[in-house]
Structure 1
Amino acid sequence: MSENGTRTVVTDGVALAYRAWGAETGVPVVLLHCLGEDGEDWRGPLVSALGGEHPVYALDLRGHGGSDRTGCYAMADFVADLRGFLDALGIGRAILVGHSFGSVVAYLFAQEHPKRVDRLVLEETGAMRPLDPPQEVPEAPRGAQLFDWEVTVQWVAQRNEPDPGWWERLASITAPTLLVGGGDRSHLPQEDLREMAERIPDARVVTIEGAGHLVHEARPMEFTRAVLDFLTET
């Protein structure tokens, strides 16, 4: 374990840092952060609430935090990393909770590996359809960054012209799915979440009005309650 409490696994030559909390038994929960953050972003009420019943893991996606900056940031790379991470820890089936960028990684993984996802929580997720007008790549901030800015460059390109299969294969997700929106303060079109829920066979949307894009930070208790209620449904 490192000085900052992270551990590391290596999958296909890529070192991935992560944090581990919670119980030793139960269905593992893997938390996937948004663009520019790392696993530390999840520390708070959600982890405390989940940790009583589940092992909880917060992964630093490649290019972020303590994980390797590889220069290669196709969404397929992030999905492969997640699979390798689960394999390295001996996790056959997990609950995935993703925020924004991390939620896209989560649902693309669920499309490719439906039997490995027990339940799926997508916080302020993006509908991967072509953008018109396209996004422009923002100018890189000056100085050292806490993540590899090249992730942003490659993400914008993929966000503007996504693989059409990413939208089409939403119907192949078999895990019960909760989509959490931040309401009218979010920059994301909230109707996109509803359209996604219509395509995913077992999905529902919860809107936490006024939360904006950072739901689990702005309204941590409401977000935690929404997740717990979803996970305890029979």
Structure 2
Amino acid sequence: MLVQMLSRNGSLTSKALRHCPCHSKHQIVSQAMLAVRRYSDQRAVSLSYDVHEPKQSTASGSHPILFLHGLYGSRKNWESLGKRMAFELSRTIVTIDARNHGQSSHSSTMSYEAMANDVLTLMELDLMIDRCDLVGHSMGGRTAMALAMSHPEALNKLVVVDVSHIPVKLSDDVTQAADYVQIMRDAKLDNSVSLSQTKRDLGTQLQTAIPNVGVRNFLLTNLVQEEGRLRWRVNLDALEANMEHLRRLHLPPGASFTGDTLFVGGANSTYLRPEDYPEIKTFFPNASFASIEGAGHWVHSEKPAEFLNAILPFLRDSS
């Protein structure tokens, strides 16, 4: 039903991109603009991504929808919902690995401004689009907000999933997230043991440190085996060095993104709180809010049907 045109490194080939139905004439970035971006985006890193096309061609002028994952995640976190949304909306969906995650390049720098710049550069130099709808969860949501503030012209609609710019109230989930780097470092990896067996063994060993089986399995998706060697895909050094920066997003006083914005939170999460809505509206005046009952921080994986019900109407007829 859905087609993925991927190169060997998991990215859409340049030739395929130029024939992507999302590239109407007014969306293709001019060569002059590309030249300017090449000069200003020297610090951008190469991002790995998948493109999910609907069976039916996208409507002329419709913007592609880009999806950004959270800390310790990858583009695969959005794969199932991305395919579903490509079908439901007849839109091109692009799921992206952030720097230091998945198959994207590593860098010692991991500010939200740098990650927003990565996405902007991907849009212009790889996808060859100048505008999109953007959906981001947690770290990806803050990256999306940073891009909305720095380059509002690049975004049509914005969906932020279970996060805001406001520092998160400390909770067990929040404090443990910073501990995961050391837990992963301390894990004993035996290259003589298969990847599947190692994941089963670590799943048992980490029960005390990480009681939530869903979180354990989520972190273990980062364990890979290449050329007989087990390793973590995420750049643990960079995550550890930048963890404090990732806890908050500084938005310039007086700045705002006036495009249509939807904040979707889990009712059981502390990351997006109703008492923060008024301050959020000062930066996103056209924001609306949805809370998913029974969901925690991983809203889209815990309650996928309810999540789709919240965002599909918002993203329909986006042009």
Determine if the TM-score, normalized by the shorter chain, exceeds 0.5.
yes
Give the 3 Å change call, closer, same or farther, for CA 178–75 of structure 1 in structure 2.
same
Q: Partner of 2:266 in structure 1?
A: 182
Using the size of structure 1 for normalisation, the TM-score is 0.85
8 Å CA contact 2:111, 2:246 repeated in 1: no
Number of aligned pairs? 230
Describe the SS at the equivalent of 2:253. Answer: helix
Which residue identity does 1:148 align to in structure 2? N
8 Å CA contact 1:197, 1:204 repeated in 2: no
Which residue identity does 1:16 align to in structure 2? L
Q: After the TM superposition, which of the residue ranges 61-70 and 8-17 deviates more from structure 2?
A: 8-17
**What's the CA shift for 1:48?**
1.4
Q: Partner of 2:92 in structure 1?
A: 55
8 Å CA contact 2:97, 2:103 repeated in 1: yes
Is 2:114 aligned against 1:77?
Answer: yes
Give the 3 Å change call, closer, same or farther, for CA 8–105 of structure 1 in structure 2.
farther
Describe the SS at the equivalent of 1:36. Answer: coil
Q: Partner of 2:104 in structure 1?
A: 67
Give the 3 Å change call, closer, same or farther, for CA 162–130 of structure 1 in structure 2.
farther
Which residue identity does 1:18 align to in structure 2? Y
Is 2:151 aligned against 1:113?
Answer: yes
Using the size of structure 2 for normalisation, the TM-score is 0.64
Q: After the TM superposition, which of the residue ranges 142-151 and 131-140 deviates more from structure 2?
A: 131-140
Q: Deviations over 1:17-48 (max 9, x none)?
A: 10001245321100000011111110113531
Which residue identity does 2:110 align to in structure 1? Y
Q: Partner of 1:22 in structure 2?
A: 53
Q: Partner of 1:156 in structure 2?
A: 243
State the distance in 2 between where 1:14 and 1:159 align: 18
Q: After the TM superposition, which of the residue ranges 127-136 and 152-161 deviates more from structure 2?
A: 127-136
8 Å CA contact 1:8, 1:15 repeated in 2: no
8 Å CA contact 2:168, 2:271 repeated in 1: no
State the distance in 2 between where 1:220 and 1:161 align: 26
**What's the CA shift for 1:64?**
0.7
Q: Partner of 1:42 in structure 2?
A: 78
Percent identity, aligned pairs only, is: 26
Bigger CA radius of gyration? 2
Q: After the TM superposition, which of the residue ranges 85-94 and 69-78 deviates more from structure 2?
A: 69-78
Structure with greater strand share of residues: 1
Q: Partner of 2:128 in structure 1?
A: 90
Q: Which 5+ residue runs of structure 2 have no aligned equivalent?
A: 1-5, 15-37, 190-230
Give the 3 Å change call, closer, same or farther, for CA 96–65 of structure 1 in structure 2.
same
Question: Cα RMSD over matched residues?
Answer: 2.9
